Amino acid sequence: MRFIGGKNMTDKVDTWIWIFDTELNRRKKIRLQTLLDRVNHSFRHENIKYFALRKDREEFREECRS
């Protein structure tokens, strides 16, 4: 596990993304990993998949190669 600036790198997936919904005039938040899951689901027919961590990307790459 890697540490940068005293923080665990896997903390990225639990980072909040802050949202303002102009239609409903509401403030919201969503976890980075949840946002990426939704984006990846929307683009499931594309050839691109998004990851918060390099380790996850490399594991996916290896799964695709086998």
pLDDT at 5: 52
pLDDT at 39: 94
pLDDT at 44: 86
Which portions of the chain are predicted below pLDDT 50? 1-4
43-61 pLDDT, tens digit per residue, is: 888 889 999 999 999 999 9
For the chain, helix, strand, coil in percent to 5 are: 45, 25, 30
Strands (E), the chain: 3-4, 7-8, 16-21, 26-31
Query: Do the Cβ atoms of 21 and 65 come closer than 8 Å?
Result: no
Extract long-range pairs of 33-41: CB within 8 Å, 24+ residues apart.
none
